Amino acid sequence: MPAYDGHMALNITGAVNPELLDLPWSTPLETWPDDTLAALPRGISRHVVRFVRFNGRVLAVKETVGPIAHREFDMLKELGRMGAPCVTPFAVVDGRVDADGNELAAALVTEHLQFSLPYRALFSQALRSDTLDRLTDALAVLLVRLHLLGFYWGDVSLSNALFRRDAEAFSAYLVDAETGDLHTHLTPGQRAYDIDLARTNIIGEMFDLQAAEELDDAVDPLELGDRIEERYKELWSTLTGKETFKDNIRYHVAERVKALNELGFDVAELDMTQTGDGRELSIRPKVVDAGHHSRRLLRLTGLDVQENQARRLLNDLDEFRAVFSPDEDESFVAHEWLARVFEPTVRAVPREFRRKLEPAQVFHEVLDHRWFLAEKRSDVTMPEAVASYVKNVLPNRPDEQAVLGQAIGAEGDAETGTETRAIQAWQLPRSSPRITTGTIDTGTSTEKR
């Protein structure tokens, strides 16, 4: 009897790319051949997840039940449309059958988030406490941003987020939206429930690491659980809290907006209410999406980078403007800065090193390096700094394969030393030239935030 033609029953929703049909959908994901797969670090999950090379990019494929895959696909699509930091859905594949006609699980396909790492990939000997603090803070920012959009997550944890370097900090992206729900507004109770889950899950994740002796002794799981709650509450009240002023109201409003912009948030509206006797004014900002700096940079230069990187680049741009043309139009100076400072710096990195870091991160690091050199001599120029950076810092970085070569955590295919070596670099102290992981993409980042 001829083998059942599994392709006949396939149903693809989402991607307009017919080549998706060529992937081996009639075999379980677990048995897909190595030459289809991209070995990238992967977090822990209940479902089988694999990364697949596809037309020069990488896709993440997760096997799950059909209706759940469709629901998660729709949810991610909607979140992306609203500007939430999350992975981008690509397709849902269902109606899969094997060669004998047996049904196979449906698959949710998302685009692999470039330069991202699951938190468990951030080990050296053990996950250090300051790295964990930064990851927790990034998760708190992500949770606040999602809540501002009315998204109730339902399963907040470090495992369900991905992390990318963002200057000195990390930024977190939602990867697992399976349990989430969108509402017009979240009630305080819904938000509290998510915070509580975040706290419980992080504590659980830390106890797991502790049991596996992969946690620095200095880390107290309970403290870290408390930290996410504190950070969340602090940020939420700064962003949405109501303040009352008696005098100098314009100044206070401007200060409040400035403080929110500093945090990277935009203010869409201010609710202003006058008190009964008309002598006091209450303001409550309606904060929209984070990303004030990256939007300003995008508007001025066309560079699409992450928030802290954007803040750093804008500082340099503002400094450039102050020194060279304080009275000139901002967007004109921005083009000057792009052509005279940013582009020459990034182009000075030899081609063979370019796949190691995003250009904006390179620029950020060269600025750091110039700072480091300036301890000995104060007038270090950017060309000097980049030359020294290329000569003294970049060659010490691990080869990209160190990161690309491994999968972690899931289904017992644990990592070996190579990845560990690369990741350690994220945790070196500030003052020494740091080695960084991160790969792919040589041009300007086009990553959607």
Ligand X SMILES: Nc1ncnc2c1ncn2[C@@H]1O[C@H](COP(=O)(O)OP(=O)(O)OP(=O)(O)O)[C@@H](O)[C@H]1O
- What does the binding site for ligand X look like in residue numbers (CB under 6 A)? 42-43, 45-47, 49, 60, 62, 87, 110-113, 116, 118, 159-160, 162, 175-176, 178
Exposed, middle or buried: residue 188 (CB in 10 Å: 0-12, 13-18, 19+)?
exposed
Sheet containing 243-245: give its strands across.
243-245, 281-290, 265-274
**Rg of the chain on CA atoms, in Å:** 24
Q: Which of 36, 45, 282, 418 binds Mg ion (CB under 5 A)?
A: 45
In terms of CB distance, is 79 or 385 closer to ligand X? 79
Report the partner that residue 321 touches, choosing among ligand X, Mg ion, none (CB closer than 5 to 8 A by kind): none
- How far apart are CB 362 and ligand X at their closest, in Å? 22
In terms of CB distance, is 173 or 236 closer to ligand X? 173
Report the partner that residue 227 touches, choosing among Mg ion, ligand X, none (CB closer than 5 to 8 A by kind): none
In terms of CB distance, is 158 or 393 closer to Mg ion? 158
Count Cα atoms within 13 angstroms, Cβ side, for 429. 3
Which position has the token pair 């990845």?
419
Report the partner that residue 112 touches, choosing among ligand X, Mg ion, none (CB closer than 5 to 8 A by kind): ligand X
One-letter amino acid of 137:
D
Stretch that binds Mg ion, among 60-68, 175-183, 201-209, 221-229 (CB under 5 A): 175-183
> Nearest residue to ligand X, using CB?
43
In terms of CB distance, is 81 or 185 closer to ligand X? 81
Q: Which of 160, 308, 309, 361 binds Mg ion (CB under 5 A)?
A: 160
Binding status of residue 176 toward Mg ion by CB under 5 A: yes
Q: How far apart are the first and last CA of the chain?
A: 51
* Element (DSSP H or E) covering residue 171: strand 169-174
Q: 227, 133 in Cβ contact below 8 A?
A: yes
Contacts of 196 (CB under 8 A, 6+ apart): none
- How far apart are CB 197 and Mg ion at their closest, in Å? 13
With CA atoms as reference, report the closest residue to 285 among 310, 254, 247: 254
Q: 40, 51 in Cβ contact below 8 A?
A: yes
3-state secondary structure of 342: helix
- How far apart are CB 80 and ligand X at their closest, in Å? 12
In terms of CB distance, is 45 or 210 closer to Mg ion? 45
Q: Which residues bind Mg ion (CB under 5 A)?
A: 45, 160, 176
